[in-house]
């Protein structure tokens, strides 16, 4: 069965939780190197171009909200994919990952609430379950555990999971992947190389993954959805057994 009620305009919201800390503007020796942040900006342009294609399911119902964490947490406006203008992000500051998770939950609750109220539905979901992509290149610099617990404890009114799918991408070798696998145990991936072509391939893969899941969400067949093959240089990270 479809996740959303029939007979009204239902949205598919994609949240992008993106690390924009200063490490994305430096090389390992601390010298200025804008390869990472430039690749993310270019990747957002590619992502938008792929998802706005009118032949894609996401183009009709998709909305997008970008949340960044670098020196602080910033949230963008929730917009239909056709009206979304990719922001010009800058690398800056530390990595407040825990605060970013708290902001994500706050906005997801707000978007869910207003979707239900605007549709005049006292019960049930007005939208399809949203999707989430997380990308980071380093370690949290804040006390992240409380934010992580808030994220893990977030449920819909029905008590079910609030997400259609969650993908976490560890960009490079400095990421503590054990944190990401707590968020996405079966869908955490690592980029072993951070060259411009590897970044572009990653974003193209994310776009295809989003479209595959968008189709599955509409038809209620998420469990049968097939992720596209990983591009060269990306590997799946297995959650450690406790």
At residue 163, the 3 state secondary structure works out as coil
* Residue 59 belongs to some domain of the structure: yes
Domain span holding position 88 = 23-130+153-170+183-237
Quickly list DSSP for 6-52: SSS---EEEEEEEE--GGGGB-TTS-B-THHHHHHHHHHHHHHHHHT
pLDDT in tens, 132-178: 999 999 899 999 999 999 999 998 766 678 898 999 999 988 898 99
* Residue 114 belongs to some domain of the structure: yes
Contact of 233 with 198, CB cutoff 8 Å: yes
- Return the pLDDT at 2: 34
- Return the pLDDT at 11: 85
- Return the pLDDT at 184: 95
* pLDDT for 93 beyond 90: yes
Contact of 71 with 61, CB cutoff 8 Å: no
Percent of the chain with pLDDT over 90: 62
pLDDT in tens, 2-15: 334 334 468 899 99
Can you read off the two tokens belonging to residue 107? 């906005």
Q: How far apart are CA 95 and CA 77, in angstroms?
A: 21
**Number of structural domains found in the chain:** 1
* Residue 144 belongs to some domain of the structure: no
pLDDT in tens, 190-202: 998 889 999 999 9
- Return the pLDDT at 4: 40
- Return the pLDDT at 241: 59
* pLDDT for 118 beyond 50: yes
Q: How many CB atoms lie within 10 A of CB 90?
A: 16
Q: What pTM did the predictor assign?
A: 0.90
Contact of 94 with 46, CB cutoff 8 Å: no
* Residue 146 belongs to some domain of the structure: no
Decide which of 215 and 131 is more confident: 131
47-61, 125-139, 216-230: which range is least confident on average? Answer: 216-230
At residue 110, the 3 state secondary structure works out as helix
Mean pLDDT of the chain: 87
Q: How far apart are CA 66 and CA 45, in angstroms?
A: 13
* Residue 89 belongs to some domain of the structure: yes
* Residue 7 belongs to some domain of the structure: no
At residue 65, the 3 state secondary structure works out as strand
Q: What is the DSSP letter of 134?
A: E
* Residue 9 belongs to some domain of the structure: no
């Amino acid at each position: 069965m479809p996740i959303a009620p029939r007979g009204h305009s239902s949205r598919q919201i994609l949240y992008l939780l993106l690390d924009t800390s200063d490490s994305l503007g430096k090389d390992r020796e601390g010298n200025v190197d804008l390869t990472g942040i430039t690749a993310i900006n270019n990747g957002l342009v590619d992502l938008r171009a792929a998802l706005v294609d009118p032949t894609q399911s996401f183009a009709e119902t998709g909305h997008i909200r970008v949340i960044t964490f670098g020196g602080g947490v910033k949230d963008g406006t929730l917009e239909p994919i056709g009206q979304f203008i990719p922001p010009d992000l800058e690398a800056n500051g530390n990595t407040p990952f825990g605060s970013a998770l708290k902001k994500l939950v706050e906005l997801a609750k707000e978007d869910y609430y207003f979707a239900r109220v605007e549709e005049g539905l006292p019960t049930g979901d007005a939208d399809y379950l949203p999707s989430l992509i997380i990308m980071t290149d380093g370690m949290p610099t804040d006390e992240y555990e409380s934010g992580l617990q808030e994220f893990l404890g977030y449920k819909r009114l029905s008590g079910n999971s609030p997400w259609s799918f969650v993908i976490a991408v560890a960009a490079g070798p400095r990421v503590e992947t054990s944190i990401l696998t707590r968020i996405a145990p079966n869908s955490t991936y690592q980029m072993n190389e951070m060259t411009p072509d590897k970044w572009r391939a990653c974003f193209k893969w994310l776009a295809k993954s989003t479209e595959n899941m968008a189709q599955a969400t509409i038809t209620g067949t998420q469990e049968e959805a097939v992720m596209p093959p990983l591009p060269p240089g990306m590997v799946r990270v297995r959650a450690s057994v406790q």
